[in-house]
Amino acid sequence: MLVLFAFACRVPALAIQEACTGSTVHAMWPDHSYSDIEAELEALAAAGGRWARVDVAWPQMEQPDGRLNPYHLARLEHVLDEASERGMNVQAILIQTPGRANGGAGLWVPPDAEHEPDFADFVSQIVSAYRGRIRYWQIWNEQNISEFWQPSPDAARYTRLLKAAYEAAKA
């Protein structure tokens, strides 16, 4: 059985490397300088990474008036430019909730039902701003564990948020 499994799963190493190697790059975290971003992406490229999964936090990217924050947009542009120079694909992961959208319950508490349209508006803005530069978007981070979907995972609530985000991204 083990031998059969080994033959059934045989894939050329190069195909695996080109297809799916990568890592999360916390380039948008406030404590990362531009030189930190470049060094992190360079290390990933040197290790054979072809994908950079980049956190894009709603509370960081959106100003209180609902418009996207120019400072953080410029930072994300830098990340995209640096990844492109290294031949990397970027998957943006849309995470966290501003306090105004969940009663100040915490960054990893999803928006209240009444603020799910606000999240959809954010998704629409950010996807539109990067259409053609970012092709792959992930909604939330590890919504199946309570560290990132607080107070506890809720498949129905996540599905609602995912559907709203999908419709906003495709509009």
Using one digit for the tens of pLDDT, what is the confidence trace for 90-144? 999 999 999 999 999 999 999 999 999 999 999 999 999 999 999 999 999 999 9
CATH code of 26-170, in short, is: 3.20.20.80
Q: Burial, 87: exposed, middle or buried (Cβ in 10 Å; 0-12, 13-18, 19+)?
A: exposed
Give residue limits of the domains in the chain.
26-170
**What is the model's pLDDT at position 10?**
56
Label residue 11 by pLDDT band (50, 70, 90).
low
Angle at 31 between CA 30 and CA 32, to 5 degrees: 95
**Phi, psi angle pair for 141, to nearest 5°:** -125, 120
In the sheet where 22-25 sits, what is the strand order? 22-25, 51-57, 89-95, 136-139
Label residue 14 by pLDDT band (50, 70, 90).
low
Label residue 16 by pLDDT band (50, 70, 90).
low
**pTM of the shown model:** 0.87
Average confidence (pLDDT) over 73-93: 97
Secondary structure element (H or E) that encloses residue 136, with its range:
strand 136-139
Identify the CA nearest to 139 among candidates 114, 164, 106. 164
Average model confidence (pLDDT) for the chain?
Answer: 91
**What is the model's pLDDT at position 21?**
86
Asked whether the predicted pLDDT for residue 35 surpasses 80, the reply is yes
- Tokens standing for 37? 């971003």
